[in-house]
Amino acid sequence: MLYYVIPRGNLIEIIDFHIHLVRRDLLNPTTIELIRNVNPDFYHKMDDFGTDPLLTVNYLRSQGVEYAVMLPDDSPATAGSIPTEAVIEYCRGQEILIPFANINPNIHYEPAQKLESYVKEHGAKGLKLYPSYQFFYPNEARLYPIYAKAQELDIPVIFHIGSSAFRGTRMKYCDPICLDDVAVDFPNLKIIMAHSGRGFWYDKCFFLSRFHKNLYMDITGLPPRRLLSYFPELDRNGEKVVFGSDWPAVPATIRENAEQIQSLPLSTSTIEGILYRNAERILFGS
């Protein structure tokens, strides 16, 4: 077994499980404003990055990122509408970029069939769902055909679980306890909790992830230096945690965040797992 987190010079190899396509013409003004505040450098190049995938690819490579999961977000009432089609088009031919689909159950017709088409005909490698942006509870019966399809297709499903700065989001929808039902009813579905309950659900997410073999944590958007105060026993769940940056909505660089994680008092296997191997297993089954 080859382990990939080998420093090359001072570069660490990373799989980033959580980046976004940002387009000024598709996102709501408050979302664009947020990007401007969080990452002013990117904001000034946003229109170039939005149309030229090579800029993103080169940036990711400069950060030591070997693969990055790129997420659509079709949430017109909150963040804006980056449809799956735009992400698939952007990632086409760029091996480093792994496109996921987004299904909005309040908008899309026959969502399970739509997911199947995104995966089989357009090459999506997973699904992202946004309960608090799109207003549904993850354990509603109407979502179950989507999970059944994802399980059949053997693709991972990421849920936004935690706070968000976007105007109009409603946190009640992403209480992690709703995923308890989903994890039980779809035991072979790989479920990832993006943001790991950011705000006040860290304990719940940690416990549920330890409890269910198919439930993972994504530490996107959590300051690495605070990680062990949120999850004091992180090492006990080292095989179930993946790294994500939320780029470009991130103040530090991806590499800085990864280096901070590397410097935490965690076992080598946990650090390698978070930065690369756990994501590799989820995405590629290796």
Residues that bind Zn ion (CB under 5 A): 246
Give the nearer residue to Zn ion in terms of CB position, either 74 or 246. 246
Kindly tell me which of 88 and 112 has the beta carbon lying closer to Zn ion.
Answer: 88
Q: Which is nearer to Zn ion, 175 or 246 (CB)?
A: 246
Antiparallel, parallel or unpaired: β 80-82 and 73-75 = antiparallel
Helix, strand, or coil here: 6?
coil
Given the complex with Zn ion, which of 112 and 247 has the nearer CB atom? 247
- Comparison of 5 and 97: residue with beta carbon closer to Zn ion: 97
- Which helix (DSSP H) or strand (DSSP E) does residue 86 occupy? helix 84-91
Residue 71 CB, nearest approach to Zn ion (Å): 6
Residue nearest to Zn ion (CB): 246
Q: How far is the CB of 18 from Zn ion (least distance, A)?
A: 5
CB of 31 to Zn ion, least distance (A): 11
Q: Report the nearest approach of Zn ion to the CB of residue 123 (Å).
A: 21
Q: Shortest distance, CB of residue 9 to Zn ion, whole angstroms?
A: 29
Closest CA to 186 of 153, 228, 137, 229: 153
Which is nearer to Zn ion, 16 or 246 (by Cβ)? 246
CB of residue 20 vs Zn ion: minimum separation in angstroms?
A: 6
Q: What distance lies between CA 42 and its chain's CA centroid?
A: 20
Query: Rounded to a whole number, what is the largest CA-CA distance in the chain?
Result: 51
246 versus 272: smaller Cβ distance to Zn ion? 246
Burial (0-12, 13-18, 19+ Cβ within 10 Å), 253: middle
Residue 73 bridge partners (DSSP): 82
CB-nearer residue toward Zn ion: 5 or 161: 161
Distances (CA, A) of 37 to 31, 70, 238: 10, 21, 33
To Zn ion, the closest distance from the beta carbon of 76 in angstroms equals 17
Q: What Cα–Cα distance (Å) separates residue 166 from each residue in 27, 31, 80, 112?
A: 11, 6, 9, 27
Secondary structure (DSSP) of 179-245 = HHHHHHH-TT--EEEEEEEETT-HHHHHHHHHH-TTEEEE-TTS-GGGHHHH-TTGGGGTTSEE---
Minimum distance from CB of 128 to Zn ion (Å)?
8
CA distance 139 to 220: 23
Q: Are strands 127-129 and 101-102 parallel, antiparallel or unpaired?
A: parallel
Three-point CA angle 135, 192, 281, nearest 5°: 155
d(CA 197, CA 174): 8
